[in-house]
Amino acid sequence: MIEALLVMALGAVLLGAALGYAAVRFRVEGDPLVEKIDAILPQTQCGQCGFPGCKPYATAIAKGEAEINQCPPGGEEGIHKLADLLGREFKPLSAEHGIEKPKSVAIIDEQACIGCTLCIQACPVDAIVGAAKQMHTVVAAQCTGCELCVAPCPVDCIRMEAIQETVDTWKWKYPVIKLRQAA
């Protein structure tokens, strides 16, 4: 009995020492996983996931504190990609965080704008230009469509508009063969 305990204890101490050494020798700085997750997220910075931005959400996923289905702008495809990366099961988008919408941009009604700068402070990517008591406008190319500027506007002059397809952004559709009615 004593022998058995001794043998096991000896083994445990030896292996523990080896692992302890290895842990110091092969220490990894930072978490490369966060970068990988962040690369998949759409960078809308909308905060619909419940975190203040895409990076914090990525960190939370990497730590296992958040589910992968909390990002409405990323949509089903984003969840699939995250599931693939992390080897987790696919889950449908969680309804409490929002629904998948067509990509849109914010548009300021420049006639109604009073120049309060509240939307400028809300914009996570600095896509709104203007100054106090001056008209504001959205730089459409930089706008991520996060909708964070809509709520702070005291005169409700900001609306979201879905991006229309143009000759530049048009894509060939998935080939569909029309079924014909049998005669």
Partner 1 sequence: MTSYLFIVLGAVLVNNVVFVRILGLCPFMGVSKKLETALGMGAATTFVLTMACGASFVIDRWLLIPNHLEYLRTLSFIVTIAAIVQLTELVIQKTSPLLHQVLGIYLPLITTNCAVLGIPLLNVSLRHNFLESLLFGFGSAVGFTLALILFAGIRERLEAADVPIHFRGTAIAMITAGLMSLAFMGFAGLDKYK
Partner 2 sequence: MIAKLFKFKGGVKPDSHKDVSAAAPIRVAPLPSHLIIPLRQSARAMARCLVQPGQTVLKGEMIAAAEGPLCTAVHAPTSGTVRAIAPQPVPHPSGLPAPSIIIDPDGLERWIERRPFDYRCVPAQETRNYLRDCGVVGLGGAGFPSHVKLGPGEKGIETLILNGAECEPWITCDDRLMRERADGILAGASIMRHIAGARRILVGIEDNKPQAIASMRAAVQRLGEADIEVVAVPTRYPAGGEKQLIRVLTGIEIPFGKLGTHFGVQCFNVGSAHAVFRAIAHGEPLISRVLTLSGNMAHPGNFEALIGTPIRELLPLAEPRTDTDRYLMGGPMMGVALLSLDTPVIKGTNCILAGSPALFPPPPPEMPCIRCGECAKVCPAELQPFELYWFSRARIFGKAQEYSLFDCIECGCCSYVCPSRIPLVDYFRFAKGEIWAREKEKAAADIARERYELRLAREEREKAEKAAKLAA
Residues making contact with partner 2 (CB under 8 A): 38, 41-45, 53-55, 124-127, 142, 144, 165-167, 169-175, 177, 179
Please choose which of partner 1, partner 2, none residue 177 contacts, taking the beta carbon within 5 to 8 angstroms, the exact cut-off set by kind.
partner 2
| Residue 177 within binding range of partner 1, rule CB under 8 A | no
Selected range binding partner 1 among 79-87, 121-129, 141-149, 163-171, rule: CB under 8 A: 79-87
What is the rounded distance in angstroms from the CA atom of residue 147 to the CA atom of residue 150?
5
Residue 147 tokens read as 């909708």
Nearest 5°: phi and psi at 161? -125, 130
Is position 129 an interface residue for partner 1 (rule: CB under 8 A)?
Answer: no
> What interhelical angle do 32-40 and 54-63 show, nearest 10?
130
Nearer to partner 1, 32 or 175 (CB): 32
In terms of DSSP bridges, do strands 158-162 and 104-108 run parallel, antiparallel, or are they unpaired? antiparallel
C-alpha–C-alpha distance, residues 180 and 48, integer Å: 44
Pick the closer one to partner 2 by CB: 15 or 39.
39
- # chain residues binding partner 1, by CB under 8 A: 21
Contact 38, 74 (CB under 8 A): no
Give me the least distance between CB of 172 and partner 2, in Å please: 4
